[in-house]
Structure 1
Amino acid sequence: MAEPADPLAKLDWDDLKVFLTSVRCQSVSAASRELNISHSTVSRRLSRLEYTLGTALFERNRDGLMLTTFGRMVLRRADEVVAGINNLRSDISGDGDTRGVIRFATMEGIASLYLSSRLAKFQANYPSVRLELLTTARQVQISHREADMFLSFFKPQGDKMATQKIGSFAIGLYASQDYLDRHGTPTDASDLTDHAYVGYLDQFVELDAVRWLEELVQNPRIVFWSNSMIAQRAAARGGLGIVALPHFALADQEVLVPVLPELTAKRNLWMTVHHDLRHSPHIVALRNYFARLFQEDADYLMGRVPPACATQTGKRAQAETA
């Protein structure tokens, strides 16, 4: 009696690579651009993989490709295959091969106002690493491979994640000199009730970690709302009101001045990596780079030194290899 055929005997590794790219890109069109192959080829290879495995891997809708329960299981195993190949490459090279793609996710404010300007040296040291920066206002599902790494203001919860505290930053109140000239400068916390504020648009804020204005000011009278830290900073610069900002948002001072500097809030920075990638050389390189950067810039991030001093500490971190 013949044994039943093994469906994996016909599995094509190229189809798995197309699958992994499609998961990361979340659409067939984006995957085709990433892989430099036609839209129809990506669709055909995904269909062939689903036929080989005997079930659907994606639910296709207007928002793109969403993994099925079986698709998430296949993703987990495919990640293990990739990790094994990367480990084998490192074993052969003897010194760790840092080539690869890293999709790194974090909040818009810290990405635009702090991190992006500090990535050039990492790219120079690791030219074979392709770094993709994804900004978001919600928790990224590392277990679903929405990203490989996630820097957040809170400790994420979930499976298949390796999370560590990697730094901290402080938040304070700031206003333009024009606003303070027109409305007066608060001298103690009781004066804060008499002022106008710039804050987050509540219905678009999914993370309690960014509700720092309410932590500093009880029942603030908000006159301008935005889901963007950059827009809030610009509004405060224009004189609309007082704004609560992390110290890293004031890298060029932006003509904002501190209001009651002793009144601060604190947030920790958490680095989360997909469990199966935590030992990959390119992931380790970026994690170490950020850890060193946040350590060097600790006084600046906590508001203990002005932005000009941080320029030098940041440069020291960037000058070292991760």
Structure 2
Amino acid sequence: MNAPDLRVMTDHLDELMTLLAVGRLGRYTAAAESLGVNHSTVSRRISSLERALGGRVMLRAASGWALTDLGQRAVEAAEKIEEAMGGLTDREQDHAAFTGTVRLGAPDAYSVHIAAPAMAGLLRRYPQLSIENISATQRARQVRSGLDLEVVVEKPEIRHATASHLTDYALRLYATREYLERNGTPQSASELSEHPLNYYVESVLTVDDLDRAVARLPRMRRGVASTNILAHVTATLAGAGIGLLPDYVARQDPRLQPVLAEEIAHPLSYWAVIRPDAMRNPAVEAVYRALAEAGPDEAGPGPTGQTQIAPGFS
């Protein structure tokens, strides 16, 4: 079936733009909020459009609403209309295009040190936009789960989505000066076996690249093992052992000293996972662009000159 004809597009412009909003946001309530109408108006417009097109444009899915093939073609037509209308105004000044809520899933260290500053800058530019950040260190989800954009460690293998490289970092060993003076500074990797390691709980770690980070280390007894990097950092600062920490987090706190910096470094990358339907939303695209331009160098120290670490890191 071809795209909707010109008569349908002109007679049902409100319905088409409503479908575009639902297709981007995945939920009637979210679309209604972005359009400034109520839920029943969205439902009525979608039903009207389906009658005009002679078929279903959306089907209920586990995480909201998904476009049918007909709905996809209708959305493509709506996007062309939106693009043409956008040429009549300065899109950079059209803050109405950047409203609603964008849900971002990301590891906590990335969320706090990279995403939060980037999102703060974006919200100053588009004050009507809202960001929800769900923190977790895990593989990219194979099915849409209510998130508009995911940031994961290591390049993911995922269907029906695009993976885009964001930035690189490394895991390195750190300890406090007091700990090293009290327990001795390792001069070689073999001497690490005399020290406890603050790192993840092996049995619940689901990211292979984070698991492989300990492969070059000798067998070390565990100090504080946790699923939360806040515990790694806090335990290391408290002198509980040597921490295997993200370099862009540790280098912000002068109390943390690198250990065997020339020998031990595990390179890692952050990747954004974006599904095509989400990227049709200008607000989601704006969030992605802000993240793509950010990086570990944007992570600044707290007001005291030391890292301000929030709970839930990864």
Task: Name the SS of the counterpart of 2:86 in structure 1.
Answer: helix
Task: Name the SS of the counterpart of 1:163 in structure 2.
Answer: strand
In structure 1, C-alpha distance between the alignment counterparts of 2:75 and 2:179, rounded to whole Å: 53
| 8 Å CA contact retained: 2:25, 2:278 | no
In structure 2, C-alpha distance between the alignment counterparts of 1:79 and 1:242, rounded to whole Å: 54
| 8 Å CA contact retained: 1:177, 1:257 | yes
Task: Name the SS of the counterpart of 1:214 in structure 2.
Answer: coil
* TM-aligned CA deviation for residue 95 of structure 1: 3.5
Task: Name the SS of the counterpart of 1:93 in structure 2.
Answer: coil
1:5 corresponds to = none
In structure 1, C-alpha distance between the alignment counterparts of 2:79 and 2:140, rounded to whole Å: 21
In structure 2, C-alpha distance between the alignment counterparts of 1:218 and 1:83, rounded to whole Å: 56
1:93 corresponds to = 89
Is the counterpart of residue 219 in structure 1 residue 219 in structure 2? yes
Structure 1 letter corresponding to 2:86: S
Structure 1 letter corresponding to 2:178: D
1:172 corresponds to = 172
Consecutive unaligned residues of structure 1, counting only runs of 5 or more, are 1-11, 59-64, 312-322
2:294 corresponds to = 293
1:244 corresponds to = 244
| 8 Å CA contact retained: 2:169, 2:269 | yes
1:320 corresponds to = none
* TM-aligned CA deviation for residue 238 of structure 1: 1.1
Task: Name the SS of the counterpart of 2:171 in structure 1.
Answer: strand
1:315 corresponds to = none
- Larger mean CA deviation between 276-285 and 261-270 belongs to 276-285
Question: Cα–Cα, structure 1 residues 282 and 85, in superposed 2: closer, same or farther, change >3 Å?
Answer: farther
1:108 corresponds to = 108
Question: Cα–Cα, structure 1 residues 104 and 17, in superposed 2: closer, same or farther, change >3 Å?
Answer: same
**Of residues 56, 60, 64 in structure 2, which corresponds to 1:57?**
60
Question: Cα–Cα, structure 1 residues 139 and 83, in superposed 2: closer, same or farther, change >3 Å?
Answer: farther
| 8 Å CA contact retained: 1:105, 1:140 | no
| 8 Å CA contact retained: 1:196, 1:222 | yes
1:192 corresponds to = 192
More helix by share: 1
1:135 corresponds to = 135
Task: Name the SS of the counterpart of 2:214 in structure 1.
Answer: helix
Equivalenced residues, count: 277
In structure 2, C-alpha distance between the alignment counterparts of 1:149 and 1:209, rounded to whole Å: 21
Structure 1 letter corresponding to 2:292: A
In structure 1, C-alpha distance between the alignment counterparts of 2:81 and 2:200, rounded to whole Å: 44
Task: Name the SS of the counterpart of 1:157 in structure 2.
Answer: coil
Is the counterpart of residue 150 in structure 1 residue 171 in structure 2? no
In structure 2, C-alpha distance between the alignment counterparts of 1:162 and 1:177, rounded to whole Å: 44
| 8 Å CA contact retained: 2:24, 2:277 | no
5 Å matches for 1:32-47?
none
Question: Identity percentage over the alignment?
Answer: 20
In structure 1, C-alpha distance between the alignment counterparts of 2:91 and 2:33, rounded to whole Å: 32
* TM-aligned CA deviation for residue 203 of structure 1: 3.2
* TM-aligned CA deviation for residue 151 of structure 1: 2.0
In angstroms, what is the RMSD of aligned CA positions? 4.4
Question: Cα–Cα, structure 1 residues 148 and 86, in superposed 2: closer, same or farther, change >3 Å?
Answer: farther
Task: Name the SS of the counterpart of 1:223 in structure 2.
Answer: strand
* TM-aligned CA deviation for residue 31 of structure 1: 10
Question: Cα–Cα, structure 1 residues 32 and 73, in superposed 2: closer, same or farther, change >3 Å?
Answer: closer
| 8 Å CA contact retained: 2:59, 2:66 | no
| 8 Å CA contact retained: 2:105, 2:135 | yes
Question: Cα–Cα, structure 1 residues 140 and 86, in superposed 2: closer, same or farther, change >3 Å?
Answer: farther
1:126 corresponds to = 126
Question: Cα–Cα, structure 1 residues 264 and 33, in superposed 2: closer, same or farther, change >3 Å?
Answer: same
Consecutive unaligned residues of structure 2, counting only runs of 5 or more, are 1-14, 48-54, 306-314
Structure 1 letter corresponding to 2:89: S
In structure 1, C-alpha distance between the alignment counterparts of 2:133 and 2:76, rounded to whole Å: 23
Structure 1 letter corresponding to 2:200: Y
Task: Name the SS of the counterpart of 1:146 in structure 2.
Answer: coil
* Runs of 4 or more above 6 Å deviation: 12-22, 30-38
* TM-aligned CA deviation for residue 205 of structure 1: 1.9
In structure 2, C-alpha distance between the alignment counterparts of 1:141 and 1:85, rounded to whole Å: 32
* TM-aligned CA deviation for residue 84 of structure 1: 5.9
- Normalised by the size of structure 1, how large is the TM-score? 0.66
In structure 2, C-alpha distance between the alignment counterparts of 1:283 and 1:237, rounded to whole Å: 37
Structure with higher RCO (Cα < 8 A, 6+ apart): 2
Task: Name the SS of the counterpart of 2:206 in structure 1.
Answer: coil
Question: Cα–Cα, structure 1 residues 72 and 20, in superposed 2: closer, same or farther, change >3 Å?
Answer: closer
Structure 1 letter corresponding to 2:250: L
